[in-house]
Structure 1
Amino acid sequence: MKPSADTRAFMVRLGHEFARPELLIRALTHGSIASATRPDNQRLEFLGDRVLGLVMAEALLKADHTASEGQLAPRYNALVRGETCAAVAREIALGDVLKLGRSEMMSGGRRKEALLADAMEAVLAAVYLDAGFGAAQKVVLKLWETRLASIEDDPRDAKTALQEWAQANGMPPPAYEQTERTGPDHAPTFLITVRLADGREAQARGAGTKRSIEQAAAQALLARLEGHE
């Protein structure tokens, strides 16, 4: 199967030229356009999740020889979670080459966080099957290089950190409210308010998933609690 010009350009952004480009085509194929002769990327996603996990676990161990399991686990989770995979996918414009059915395309599938995260993992699996673990490791370390270099000592997601802060201060978990929703259905923008039991609150607005905006709101409130605002 001969890849299109767009797919060849994506290989350059990815940093891997496929000997078997049909693997990449499958990794980019969403279930909305799959058929009996055109399998989707779900099985590759399953494998890619494990490939990414092994690369990250090994990289973190090499980066810090003294870190305990309790320190390594949150760093690992921050690097492999869906939001991170989707962010990496956006940086290499993976959405531009996703193969989607018409309905999924019309609903903004190329920008959906879950689709991007799943496809990113599937692409890593395709690299692994095409050229082995070393090639997949090279791609992952290149694409995640900045994140690996700047991983925080305590990279818990903001919602978890805020909930732990509330509990430590004798409060129930913070409440999240969708204060506003604007824009078309396929690309909505949310305004999320997070509020503690004592009335302190913060807001965040943005496109993407509600969860990602809730994370931003939690981060804003944490900054206020820590005296950063």
Structure 2
Amino acid sequence: MPIVYNKNIDEHTVLAIWKITETEEDLLAGLQLKQHELDIISSLNNGKRLLHWLSTRLLLRTMLNTKEYIDCQFDEDGKPYLVNFDYHISLSHSYDYAAVMMSKTSAVGVDIELIKHKIKSIKHKFLSDIELAQKQIGDNTEGLYVAWCAKEAIYKWHGKKGLEFKQHIHIKPFKLKAEGCLNAIVELPTGTRALTVNYFKTDDGYMLGYVVSN
């Protein structure tokens, strides 16, 4: 299993990315699955959706370094959690990659996306006019993906339905780099939070953003 990126964000938090080169059979061979998971697999049919589901589970197993059964489920808001391991987790996948972030102490969120020009056609759906006026976002494809990944990572970090990208998550001006960070203001039901999101672009054209915070 080719883990192409593995980073200790802090002493309690790890982020890993895996390039999917295996077949469905290869991935299945490394997993312990129960009937409810086999039912999910059968509903996904073949193709990328199935490979993504399998690869995130196998990456979880590798990061936890365990032979025990890993029960990964989703709560009513769609946030993943581990039933039998005490970790906060976040999962993401895009085309040939799967990403998993986990922390013993803090909520986490990660998002990975293949960079495509078509994001320009939907930029007004997830960015405010103030954000679009920022020169590093505006009509810049990579800047748009930094903003998208940041907002998606924050949404996953929060883990509750009702958080709107355009209305509730505000990206502050930042300097666009191949790897960097930005600040965001998030309007939550419990009050306003300031968060720092880290991001980086891969050599083969993917953008990844992640956040970790209590």
TM-score when normalising by structure 1 = 0.30
Give 1 or 2: higher strand fraction: 2
Work out which structure has the larger RCO, using CA pairs closer than 8 Å and 6 or more positions apart in sequence.
1
TM-score when normalising by structure 2 = 0.31
Q: Which has the larger radius of gyration?
A: 1
